[in-house]
Structure 1
Amino acid sequence: MTRRIDSHDYSLRSLQSLLGVSRRVLSGLIDAGFVQPSRGRRNELRFTFQDVVVLRTAFHLQSAKIASRKILRALAKLKADLPEELPLSGIRVTAVGDTVAVKTGHAQWDATSGQLLLDFEVAPIKGDVAFLDTTPRDVKSREQQADEWFALAEQLTGTDAVGAEHAYRKTLELAPRPHYHAYTNLGVLLCEAETRCDEALSVFDSALTLFPDDALLHFNRAVVLEELKRYEAAVTAYERCIELDPTHADAHFNVARLSEIRGDKQGVLRHLNAYRRLIG
């Protein structure tokens, strides 16, 4: 059965652990109205993935040595000053020196004072978090949004599998053209979960309808089939990888290993020799 990502997937404690942001900062952001968590079955606070994107800003600003009180003051003033037609999802917040800076287009200003920051006054940027707007307007904006979701997915992959999966799926949804790396990374992410190999296989199958002659996709699909103990199909997928890329040493090694399981002594020798030639 396909696992559904709950739209309220994070508790307050998990956010503290994930983002490294103090409870005081999180509480301040909630009080300021920047996030509106729901309540769980035991009346605990639950946060959406989009809340996580907003709260990651506080994390990065803290990492840039911006004081907590300045983060709260700047974000509260930012929300109050922005016109309604410019949502928070359409801005970029950065740390410039010890200042919280806001950028829209080519304009950049101090989030606390509202003073315009000119290019020659700007110190090296220490941190950069994009608020993501998932409302498509045209092909260009969809491509930009897809790129931002993909960048976020890559950042989350090592620490937050749920968030990374959501971001990769948003990349695939928004990208105006098939996004090869989002398919590849999502498939690998699902396969690493072990219990979700069927879903990973579906991702790689979909990718191969778009990139049928990509050796790496066939290799990754073969790995998933092997995890599912579908050894005959895995060998076929590895052999297709080798057909497309005869220098793929790992594919030769894996076929040799599976050939041994299947009792195919000739296959073992042929592919093991090919593997040794390629790495030798």
Structure 2
Amino acid sequence: MTRRAHSHDYSLRSLQSLLGVSRRVVTGLIDAGFVQPARGRRNELRFSFQDVVVLRTAFQLQTAKIASRKILRAIAKLKKELPQELPLSGIRITAVGDNVAVRSGPAQWDAASGQHLLDFEVAPVQGEVAFLDAAPQNLRNREQQADEWFALAEQLLETDVVGAEQAYRKAVALAPRSHYDASINLGVLLCEAETRCEEALDVFDNALTHFPDDALLHFNRAVVLEELKRYDAAFDAYGRCIELDPTHADAHFNMARLSEICGDNEGLLRHLSAYRRLIG
């Protein structure tokens, strides 16, 4: 499947508000060449989802009490020393004490001094630059990272659907046993695209391997199956939702509608009655 290009939906001011990054840090990152924003109609800077992730790293380093001047100095030095062909996705940045440390492949070093570091735990995050704690990688860290990606997805949802999808997928992949809220929202997002219902079904099926007795997941899966016109499977999925949550009014309503489609007048009346009772 071809990935669509990211749109440049963020102004400098909106980024500062969203991430709490100072203008000095943002302009320093631009000068260092780590972000290459586009220009808007009035020649203003516009940033992409990829830029958001890079700038979020800078913000997290700030919250780790790394001085802005040290962040800028480290990034400027990195720009000079890293091979030109090294992609940005190959860089991992973290705070170690009050220093900025970097890992690229097996090598890890202090960003400002260039001194190599030993026994420095780096999580195997694929893709964009990500902020990592100095603490060893464990389940708690992965849960925290997953929650941060979910929060970013929620922030992007209204302005960058492609970016939100990627962030939801990051949350699902990082969470030790999948990420419930990210799975729900990702599946709904894909289903809303109409042509991606099969992908949405895969998301819900995967989530159900971790949360097999969740009524909402079964309901959403049933909606996707109905969109795909797999009515028998949808009916069974709605039925499972109602088994788990007899008060789920929407499941009764949808089962009533499916019963009507299938010519089951008894089922139509039974589920419609249950729906009216629950909402009344």
Amino acid at match of 1:215: A
Q: For 2:203, what is the secondary structure of its paired residue?
A: helix
Amino acid at match of 1:5: R
Deviations 1:215-240 (A, max 9, x none): 10000000111111111211111011
Mark the CA change 1:186 to 1:134 in structure 2 (over 3 Å): closer, same or farther: farther
Mark the CA change 1:191 to 1:232 in structure 2 (over 3 Å): closer, same or farther: same
Shift of 1:243: 1.0
Amino acid at match of 2:252: H
Q: Paired residue for 1:274?
A: 274
Mark the CA change 1:17 to 1:158 in structure 2 (over 3 Å): closer, same or farther: farther
Q: Name the CA distance, whole Å, in 2 between partners of 1:18 and 1:187.
A: 31
Q: Paired residue for 1:79?
A: 72
Indicate whether 1:155 and 2:155 are aligned. Answer: yes
Tell me if the contact between 2:94 and 2:132 (Cα under 8 Å) persists in the aligned partners.
Answer: no
Shift of 1:192: 1.2
Deviations 1:191-248 (A, max 9, x none): 1111111100000011111111111000000011111111121111101101111110
Identity across the alignment (%)? 61
Q: For 1:194, what is the secondary structure of its paired residue?
A: coil
Q: Name the CA distance, whole Å, in 2 between partners of 1:28 and 1:50.
A: 16
Indicate whether 1:180 and 2:180 are aligned. Answer: yes
Indicate whether 1:10 and 2:3 are aligned. Answer: no
Deviations 1:114-134 (A, max 9, x none): xxxxxxxxxxxxxxxxx8426
Q: Paired residue for 2:34?
A: 35
Deviations 1:145-199 (A, max 9, x none): 1121111011112221111111111112222233211111111111111111110
Count of matched residue pairs? 215
Q: Paired residue for 2:192?
A: 192
Q: Name the CA distance, whole Å, in 2 between partners of 1:76 and 1:184.
A: 41
Q: Name the CA distance, whole Å, in 1 between partners of 2:209 and 2:198.
A: 17
Q: Name the CA distance, whole Å, in 1 between partners of 2:251 and 2:234.
A: 10
Q: CA RMSD in A?
A: 3.9
Mark the CA change 1:34 to 1:89 in structure 2 (over 3 Å): closer, same or farther: farther
Q: Paired residue for 2:170?
A: 170
Tell me if the contact between 1:256 and 1:269 (Cα under 8 Å) persists in the aligned partners.
Answer: yes
Q: Name the CA distance, whole Å, in 2 between partners of 1:18 and 1:79.
A: 19
1:1-280 equivalent positions in 2, closer than 5 A: 3-5=1-3, 9-10=5-6, 12=8, 14-16=9-11, 28=27, 31-33=30-32, 35-37=34-36, 49-54=49-54, 78-80=71-73, 90=94, 132-133=130-131, 137-139=136-138, 140-280=140-280
Q: Name the CA distance, whole Å, in 1 between partners of 2:94 and 2:33.
A: 14
Tell me if the contact between 1:132 and 1:148 (Cα under 8 Å) persists in the aligned partners.
Answer: no
Tell me if the contact between 2:29 and 2:75 (Cα under 8 Å) persists in the aligned partners.
Answer: no
Tell me if the contact between 2:7 and 2:160 (Cα under 8 Å) persists in the aligned partners.
Answer: no
- Give the TM-score normalised by the residue count of structure 1: 0.63
Tell me if the contact between 2:32 and 2:76 (Cα under 8 Å) persists in the aligned partners.
Answer: no
Amino acid at match of 1:231: Y
Q: Name the CA distance, whole Å, in 2 between partners of 1:187 and 1:278.
A: 26
Unaligned regions of 5+ residues in structure 1, if any?
A: 40-45, 59-73, 92-102, 105-130
Farther-moved stretch of structure 1 (28-37 vs 216-225)? 28-37
